Amino acid sequence: NLAMLYYQHASRDSLYNGNDRVSNNVELKSDIGIARYVHYMDVAGLHIAPQILVPFGRLDAGKDIASLGSSTGLGDIILANTFFIYHDKDTKSTFGITPYLYLPTGKYSKYDDLNLGENRVKLTVQGAYTTQLIDRLNWDIAGDFTIYGKNDDVINGSLKQDLGFQVQTNTRYRLTDIADLRAGLSYSDAGDIKQNGVTTDSNKQTKFWIGTGISPTATTQVILNYGRDLRVENGFKEDNRINLRLMKVF
> pTM of the entire structure?
0.95
188-242 pLDDT, tens digit each: 999 999 998 899 999 999 999 999 999 999 999 999 999 999 999 999 999 999 9
Residue 129 confidence (pLDDT): 98
Buried b (16+ CB within 10 A) or exposed e, 41-55: eeeeeeebbebebbb
The fold of the 1-249 domain, in CATH, is Porin (2.40.160)
C-alpha–C-alpha distance, residues 75 and 14, integer Å = 25
**Could you tell me if 180 and 174 are in contact, meaning their C-beta atoms sit under 8 angstroms apart?**
yes
- Sorted by sequence, the CB contacts under 8 Å of residue 69 that are 6+ apart come out as 61, 112, 113, 114
- Residue spans per domain, the chain: 1-249
14-57 pLDDT, tens digit each: 999 999 999 999 999 999 999 999 999 999 999 999 999 999 99
Report the 10 Å Cβ neighbour count for 250: 7
The candidate with the shortest Cα–Cα distance to 230, out of 210, 208, 211, 204, is 208
Mean pLDDT of 116-138: 97
**For strand 220-233 and strand 204-217, is the pairing parallel, antiparallel, or unpaired?**
antiparallel
> In this structure, what are the phi and psi dihedrals at residue 71, rounded to the nearest 5 degrees?
-150, 135
